């Protein structure tokens, strides 16, 4: 059987697993109730090399390929705190890849390297109250003024938004051009005119901070522009692939843990004289879940292999064929994870509806996968276009 993981990958996987089990899991209940976790966790992860394993050494990483990021995303759910997993993955696979791709040496030194070491916390600022999956509808504007840009607008649903030291932010520099008038900027959050609005109350992922951001006459120097002006939408479409793929990887890993947790519960839970897992109806459902997870894992591995080849081995942009596969993977993972979590909750009966049982938390946390990074409906619409339908 094909195995893309080397001894080095597995050593890294062990490091992430120990980090999740020792630094996250023992505090997951506390952090969920507090709806927050210590920002120092980023630093701890950075010191272990967890944040930058799949980045080049020139960027402050360890020079590994994308399979290192996959191993990381598969092990972090062992911490049983999806909010922390999401916060760390935003740092490593959503807010920073575009800096590695486009950043100048000065931008990499100021923003990317300290993000990979955990000394700075990053957020990705794209979504707005009137523009979520429809990125072309963003209304935040950046106007050139001499050697500066002046930004005005609002962002929402921003993970790490309340604690970030900088935001990788998309704004309109040519509003008349729609999607083709967007530009990326690196925005330090201590800049005058930047303000964090309210933290949003979510139905899941409670430990992560999700905030509204306000920009009122925020002035930043031109050197904080990322890449070429008006090319932001094209850069974002490339960046989205890492976000969507890592979401699928992490989601499937979470589904595996939910199945195993439920199986252990079913071996101990006695119903009408014998363990619940020995009831034929549930045995069939577990077989069905195991089968679907293995099928989804095989497809996602194919996507990872294609992405790794495009971005790391060929040092090029992600091909449209790979984009198509990743979009499919996100749909498949979102639907499957929701099905698995619902079945596992049902298996627990009344206890599945009680907050102190991890399966209740996993069930509500998993719902985000069909929304974040592009809804399943948006992915389907996009795929229809790619297929010429």
Task: Provide the pLDDT for residue 152.
Answer: 98
Alpha helices, DSSP H, located in 119-231: none
Q: How far apart are CA 201 and CA 211, in angstroms?
A: 9
| pLDDT over 90 at 314, yes or no | no
Task: Provide the pLDDT for residue 355.
Answer: 87
Architecture of the domain whose range is 123-226: Beta Barrel (2.40)
Cα angle value 207/170/148 (rounded, 5°): 120
Mean pLDDT for 119-124 is 98
pLDDT in tens, 9-68: 999 999 999 999 999 999 999 999 999 999 999 999 999 999 999 999 999 999 999 999
Task: Provide the pLDDT for residue 315.
Answer: 74
Mean pLDDT for 93-109 is 96
Tokens of 325: 């596969």
- CATH for 232-386 is 1.20.140.10
Q: How far apart are CA 101 and CA 242, in angstroms?
A: 12
Task: Provide the pLDDT for residue 48.
Answer: 98
Q: Can you give the residue ranges of every domain in the chain? A: 7-120, 123-226, 232-386
Active site includes 110? no
Task: Provide the pLDDT for residue 65.
Answer: 95
Mean pLDDT for 93-121 is 97
| pLDDT over 90 at 269, yes or no | yes
Q: How far apart are CA 212 and CA 203, in angstroms?
A: 16
| pLDDT over 80 at 136, yes or no | no
Q: How far apart are CA 276 and CA 265, in angstroms?
A: 9
The pTM is what? Answer: 0.94
Mean pLDDT for 86-106 is 97
User: What b/e sequence results for 162-174 when a residue is b if at least 16 CB atoms lie within 10 Å of its CB, and e otherwise?
Assistant: bbbbbbbbbbbbe
- CATH for 7-120 is 1.10.540.10
Task: Provide the pLDDT for residue 165.
Answer: 98
Q: How far apart are CA 173 and CA 179, in angstroms?
A: 10
Neighbours of 290 (CB within 10 A): 14
- Asked if residues 298 and 307 have their Cβ atoms less than 8 Å apart, the reply is no
Tokens of 286: 């577990």
| pLDDT over 90 at 131, yes or no | no
pLDDT in tens, 160-177: 999 999 999 999 999 888
**137 confidence band (pLDDT: 50, 70, 90):** confident
- Asked if residues 179 and 253 have their Cβ atoms less than 8 Å apart, the reply is no
The active-site residue, picked from 21, 128, 243, 267, is: 243
Helices (H) and strands (E) in the chain, counts: 13, 10
| DSSP letter for each residue of 209-227 | -EEEEEEEEEEEEGGGEES
Q: Per DSSP, what are the bridge partners of residue 158? A: 211
Query: What are the distances in angstroms from CA 60 to CA 111, 112, 163, 202?
Result: 11, 7, 22, 34
Nearest-CA neighbor of 78 among 260, 333, 339, 210?
260
**7 confidence band (pLDDT: 50, 70, 90):** very high
| pLDDT over 90 at 223, yes or no | yes
Q: Per DSSP, what are the bridge partners of residue 150? A: 143, 219
Neighbours of 51 (CB within 10 A): 26
- Widest CA span in the chain: 79
């Amino acid at each position: 059987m094909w195995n893309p993981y080397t001894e080095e990958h597995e050593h890294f996987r062990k490091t992430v697993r120990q980090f999740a089990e020792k630094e996250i899991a023992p505090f997951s209940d506390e952090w969920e109730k507090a709806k927050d976790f210590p920002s120092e966790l980023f630093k701890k992860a950075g010191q272990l090399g967890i944040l930058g394993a799949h980045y080049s050494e020139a960027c402050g990483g360890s020079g590994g390929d994308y399979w290192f990021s996959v191993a990381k995303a598969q092990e972090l759910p062992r911490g049983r705190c999806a909010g922390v997993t999401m916060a760390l993955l935003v740092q490593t696979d959503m807010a920073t890849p575009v800096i590695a791709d486009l950043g100048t040496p000065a931008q990499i030194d100021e923003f990317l390297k300290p993000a990979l070491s955990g000394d700075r916390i990053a957020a990705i600022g794209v979504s707005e109250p009137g523009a979520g999956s429809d990125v072309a509808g963003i209304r935040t504007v950046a106007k050139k003024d001499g050697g500066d840009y002046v930004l005005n607008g609002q962002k929402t649903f921003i993970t790490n938004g309340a604690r970030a030291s900088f935001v990788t932010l998309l704004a309109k520099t040519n509003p008349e051009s729609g999607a083709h008038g967007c530009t990326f900027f690196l925005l330090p959050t201590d800049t005058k005119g930047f303000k964090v609005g309210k933290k949003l109350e979510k139905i899941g992922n409670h430990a992560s901070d999700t905030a509204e951001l306000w920009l009122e006459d925020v002035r930043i120097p031109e050197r904080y522009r990322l890449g070429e002006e008006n090319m932001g939408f094209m850069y974002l479409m490339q960046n989205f692939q890492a976000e969507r793929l890592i979401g699928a990887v992490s989601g499937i890993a979470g589904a595996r843990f939910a199945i195993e947790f439920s199986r252990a519960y079913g071996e101990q839970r006695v119903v009408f004289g014998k363990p619940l897992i020995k009831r034929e109806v549930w045995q069939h459902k577990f077989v069905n879940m195991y089968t679907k997870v293995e099928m989804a894992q095989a497809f996602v591995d194919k996507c990872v292999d294609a992405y790794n080849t495009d971005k790391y081995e060929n040092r090029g942009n992600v091909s449209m064929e790979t984009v198509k596969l990743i979009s499919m993977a996100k749909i498949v993972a979102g639907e499957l994870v929701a099905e698995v979590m619902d079945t596992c909750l049902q298996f627990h009966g009344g206890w599945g509806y009680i907050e102190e049982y991890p399966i209740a938390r996993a069930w509500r946390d998993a719902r985000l996968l069909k929304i974040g990074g592009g809804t399943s409906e948006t992915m389907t619409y996009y795929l229809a276009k790619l297929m010429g339908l």
